Structure 1
Amino acid sequence: MNKVKLIYNPKSGNEKSSENLDKIISIHQSHGLIIDPFRLQEDANIKDALITIKEEYKYVLIMGGDGTLNSVVNELKKNNIDIPVAVIPAGTANDFANYIGMPEDIEKACLQIINSSVKYMDLGQINDSYFTNLVSTGFFANPYKAAEDDSKAKVGRMAYMFNGITQIKNIQYYNFNIKSKEFSYDGDLYGVIVLNGKTIANVELAPDASAADGYLDVLIIKDKVLESKFQNLITLITEGKFEKLEGIEHFTTSRLYIECKEQPLSDIDGERGPKLPVEIRCIPGALRVLGVNKNF
């Protein structure tokens, strides 16, 4: 078990994945590990990358962003391949990698992975798909997806924030029906955010959330968010907690159901998600991860 499958996306984030390839191979070789690289491109997708995956691989190393990680995890689960994953942050936001404490420096990231033990982490499921960090729907799904590949590569996670600002003029309510054992809601909302991690585009929304507790953190955004903007600004400055803002309902659950008449967009880890209605649940300890910071 000295082989490592490296899957890298040359178009992720700052588009420097290819430049870092030799360094990754060198560091792994110096620790007795053989890198088997696979470059994602139009005629070579993640399904192709995993065709040769066998038990002798120690782990799958993903160099890319949250979307690349999501695609790999979904393909692994779809094919019942149970193998640890590790991620080198090379995307735009890198929410999951930042959450588990992965360094941006390539050498430090590789060594943290190589010298780590497997951590069992929760995995979210939305209908038949999986997510590592978040699902959102309503207004908050639109700007996150609206950041096109070119702008993301040029200005990084600011692309998400810029697109969010440009969409403010188009903000609208959606009529949601949300059901869970802990909380139910039927009425107008700006949107819903379901977190397995803590952040969206590196903005911390649920600082007390954990991806190892068997629960998802759900934020329901009501109209009072804008109506109480002055008080909310004070709350952000003094407490720094998004979930305590006026107009935000926050609860934790292991399973929920969301439907909406207007069929807004949904987002899974920064990529286009399924149409509503959706059933979302947390699968405790379903993802084996290497490289998790010891202070996690």
Structure 2
Amino acid sequence: MKKAVLIVNPSSGNEEAKKYSGQARKKLEQFFDEVEVRETEKGGDATKFAREAAEAKADSVFAMGGDGTVNEAISGLAEQDYRPKFGFFPLGTVNDLGRSLNIPMDPKEAIASFDSERKTSLDIGKINEDYFMNIVSVGSIPEAISDVDVEEKTKFGKLAYFVNGVKEVFNDENYHFTLEIDGEKTEIESSAVVIVLTRTIGGFTHIVPEAKNNDGNLYLLYLKDQSITDRLKSVPDIIKGVDQSTENIGYTPFKEGRLTVKEDADLHPSVDGDEGPELPLSFKVLPQHLEVYCGAE
């Protein structure tokens, strides 16, 4: 008997999860003998529910919510010897992983178009003892972006991230980092260091056009900025997509690395849009770690 567990965050998507969870359940019942719906009440519930589904040998686990809910569910599966197939119905503001997997951003369309035959493998990243599915960002600009509150996200969508990021461009603060990438050490000065798994950042597709969901790589990007002028010079490179280092942006595909900051800086890295662990940070990729449901090409 094939069982699916649907993990729903009722507060996601301006509390639209309750509206769509019944539709999702009915759709999944076309493909599975049993569908169990579990609603989260607090942070960590999605991780717990996904872990319990894996321990019970469920065939598939689905998440309905934003990037944070999806991250939690993936984290619950990541350490398990038996990992159910994973799928999700996006409800949040950005949904970078959904975009990279060609899943429709409209919840109703995402549910209606689900097909259990469409699957692919997915790399996930490990940061210290946590996991990420899309992006880790460190620095003054990433901190400003991660400080966008729920009300702003609901009202303005991904534009809220863009506006906060632009505001921080005119802040002169940057940091001295030490990077160890696949055994090679580099000293850099930057306001923003980003490690990504997919081509999509902040809802904007093809910023890292070389990145694939299952290529076994992490991708490092950082601004080579020592002034506001340097920061502004990097914008055209970002807009056209980054596939090599330029005068304004550093770029390196890698497998494993470590990031430390020289100053006694109170930096809070953002992991898939939520606050992550304190520096120093260790990274590695877990290649093709999950089998996931995807959208049509």
Smaller-chain TM-score bracket: 0.7 to 0.9
Give the structure 2 partner of residue 266 of structure 1.
Answer: 269
Superposition deviation, residue 52 in structure 1: 4.7
Q: Bigger shift: 55-64 or 172-181?
A: 55-64
1:283 to 283, 286, 295: 286
Q: CA deviation at 1:21?
A: 1.6
Distance 1:236 1:195 in 2: 14
Residue 218 of structure 1 corresponds to which residue in structure 2? 220
1:202 maps to 2:203: yes
Q: Distance in 1 between matches of 2:220 and 2:252?
A: 5
SS in 1 for 2:76: helix
Identify the residue that residue 14 of structure 1 maps to in structure 2: 14
Report the counterpart of residue 175 of structure 1 in structure 2. Answer: 176
TM-score w.r.t. length of structure 1: 0.87
Deviation at 1:185, TM superposition (A): 2.0
Deviation at 1:108?
Answer: 3.9
* 8 Å Cα contact 1:190/1:221 also seen in 2: yes
Change (3 A) 1:229 1:126: closer
1:118: how far off? 3.4
How many correspondences in the alignment? 292
Identify unmatched segments of 5+ residues in structure 1: none
Q: Distance in 1 between matches of 2:242 and 2:135?
A: 16
Q: Could you say if the C-alpha distance between residues 24 and 190 of structure 1 is closer, same or farther in structure 2, counting changes exceeding 3 Å?
A: same
8 Å CA contact 2:170–2:228 kept in 1: the answer is no
**Residue in structure 2 matched with residue 46 of structure 1 by the alignment:** 46
Partner amino acid, structure 2, of 1:278: L
TM-score after normalising by structure 2: 0.87
* Identity score, percent: 24
Change (3 A) 1:19 1:250: same
Alignment of 1:25-44 (within 5 A): 25-42=25-42
In structure 1, C-alpha distance between the alignment counterparts of 2:201 and 2:126, rounded to whole Å: 17
Does the Cα contact within 8 Å between 1:141 and 1:265 map onto a contact in 2? no
Per the alignment, residue 3 of structure 1 pairs with 3
What does residue 71 of structure 1 align with?
72
8 Å CA contact 2:181–2:258 kept in 1: the answer is yes
Structural RMSD (CA) = 2.6
The letter of the residue matching 1:26 is K
Mark the CA change 1:14 to 1:43 in structure 2 (over 3 Å): closer, same or farther: closer
Give 1:45-124 correspondences, 5 Å limit. Answer: 45-50=45-50, 52-53=52-53, 54-78=55-79, 80-124=81-125
Residues 116-135 of structure 1 correspond to what in structure 2 (within 5 A)? 116-135=117-136
**Structure 1 letter corresponding to 2:46:** I
1:93 to partner: Cα distance: 0.2
Judge which range, 180-189 or 271-280, deviates more: 180-189
Q: Structure 2 unaligned segments of length 5 or more: list them.
A: none
